[in-house]
Structure 1
């Protein structure tokens, strides 16, 4: 009975994961086919604000649990972003280098805590990584973005600060009174998790539509650049999940891999579109497919091992 219940639960979760993967792929395809939807790109910022608001309802902002491993992960974000930018700028030119920069510099996603929990890891480590990397990058990005886009003027610095205040500051400030005066506020994101997901799907659709419109307007661009950006994004994803294992030590090996690999792409997609162009924003956008694909595979392998242990325990029980 217990084994049957576990199988049913596992089957439903896999089915939901497949549905979400299908929805994301559909957003990519439809967005590319509908460049006219780029007229609604102003909605992207506010979709992100709503999603970040739901994040801050769920995550208590406290940096007291930040460990040295979290600072190493923050340093890795900077190193991967800036390192890949320096390398590709000398080899491939500005657009591919900037796509790599905005992909590598992306901080931890709050959903990393969910995956860590499903994999049997320490959720508190993942939550602290989200706080350390997101607030750390919010401080560093106003200095790093002007360098990456080749425009270190003070006006660009202030513009990046203003953008971050909108997409992080507004939802953070709005979430504080809701958490104070509504005791069940932290349960709202779970209750409306499907709403949050489809807001994200809508944002992906608009992001790809913007990239499609940009490609159609730039006749000189080779279509192979899409494959090059996808390949760069994939390489960064593989490196992050692999390298993250070494940052958490033996105790937090799995958790550090996940929090370096699973990215808050909503933030850097918006910044890339604002300060570079929609083509550059495809770097972190493709990353959405890669890290979700790896998460799906991880969960499948973990559930399979867990199910095998359950069957073995049942056989060994007299």
Structure 2
């Protein structure tokens, strides 16, 4: 029993992904428990934003407001992310149709979608700066709301999305999921320091909340992948190429962050994506089948996170 608990503790994110996959299989359409899944599945999905709100509140209780300031690498990474996204737009304008464009759309959305708000949780575990990552996430969402209405109509002619709509849509998510828990946490630190202190002493609380959330997201991802109506080769590319996109983004983030002494935070900032927003954007404005790619990305990014956490615990530092 102790060995099992030790394994779960070391590989929490991996175990969460396995649990999510198993739950999907238990309640899938081919299972006898499928009627129960029709009730439990939507209920779990509805819990996701509330769990994210709670885990961010717990994480933000550890932030010193004086550290909430922009840094040079925040803007370098935005420039790189926007440039790569623009390059993919040019490729898709050349490959105007077919499976090649479909695969390119999947990779494009993995680059353009903003940083996950919950990236701060893993960043803290890896020894990075929660405050720096939080400021970057705010900037990344603002930039995303600007470039989406510029790029999407070039990718899909039918993508009818205005600047105000994109800005309002993303800012609404930012306010409810990121700014509200941040403000609540800062107020707690100011007026209820004992409560904030008690939360800070529970170091892994937010991390295990994120693991619970990840199991739900993984189940949703497996469902989308299994139900994808696309050929075998194209499906394989939509599943495998996001791994390379993921590794490239983590590597670029760490490389840029290394020049500013914030390697861990920058790596998570560029590499850990809000794939739920990415999937929604793809289904709503691009080719819905391409949503398989950001779905696969969430699995790859958390495998990378699991490996990084293992290295951090085993060696005391990140080997990559």
Partner of 1:273: 283
Judging changes above 3 Å, is the alpha-carbon distance between structure 1 residues 159 and 99 closer, same or farther for their aligned structure 2 residues? same
Q: CA RMSD in A?
A: 4.2
Query: Is 2:23 the partner of 1:14?
Result: no
Query: Is 2:262 the partner of 1:252?
Result: yes
What is the deviation of 1:254?
Answer: 3.4
1:248-302: per-residue Cα shift (whole Å, max 9, x none)?
2432233322321122222212222222344211111111111111111122222
Residue 115 of structure 2, aligned match among 105, 108, 112: 108
Query: Is 2:77 the partner of 1:80?
Result: no
SS state of the match for residue 266, structure 2? helix
SS state of the match for residue 230, structure 1? helix
Structure 1: distance between partners of 2:184 and 2:23: 32
Residue 231 of structure 1, aligned match among 230, 237, 240: 240
Structure 2: distance between partners of 1:203 and 1:284: 12
Residue 119 of structure 1, aligned match among 109, 121, 126: 126
> What is the 5 A alignment of 1:182-201?
183=192, 184=195, 187=199, 194=208, 197-201=211-215
Structure 1: distance between partners of 2:145 and 2:196: 25
Structure 2: distance between partners of 1:94 and 1:159: 25
1:105-161: per-residue Cα shift (whole Å, max 9, x none)?
1222234333333333333332322222133323433333333333354x5555544
1:59-95: per-residue Cα shift (whole Å, max 9, x none)?
4799951111011112222223332343356455332
Aligned length: 295
Query: Is 2:318 the partner of 1:294?
Result: no
Structure 2: distance between partners of 1:177 and 1:208: 34
Tell me if structure 2 keeps the 8 A contact 1:233–1:287: yes
Q: Name whichever of 59-68 and 131-140 sits farther off.
A: 59-68
Q: Name whichever of 241-250 and 99-108 sits farther off.
A: 241-250
Q: Name whichever of 88-97 and 37-46 sits farther off.
A: 37-46
Residue 129 of structure 1, aligned match among 127, 136, 143: 136
Partner of 2:170: 164
Unaligned 5+ segments in structure 2 are: none
Partner of 2:19: 23
Q: Name whichever of 103-112 and 137-146 sits farther off.
A: 137-146
Judging changes above 3 Å, is the alpha-carbon distance between structure 1 residues 161 and 46 closer, same or farther for their aligned structure 2 residues? farther
Judging changes above 3 Å, is the alpha-carbon distance between structure 1 residues 203 and 255 closer, same or farther for their aligned structure 2 residues? closer
Q: Name whichever of 289-298 and 22-31 sits farther off.
A: 22-31
Structure 1: distance between partners of 2:262 and 2:179: 32
What is the deviation of 1:192?
Answer: 6.9
Tell me if structure 1 keeps the 8 A contact 2:110–2:294: yes
Query: Is 2:251 the partner of 1:242?
Result: yes
SS state of the match for residue 255, structure 2? coil
Structure 2: distance between partners of 1:225 and 1:276: 16
Partner of 1:202: 216
Structure 2: distance between partners of 1:31 and 1:90: 42
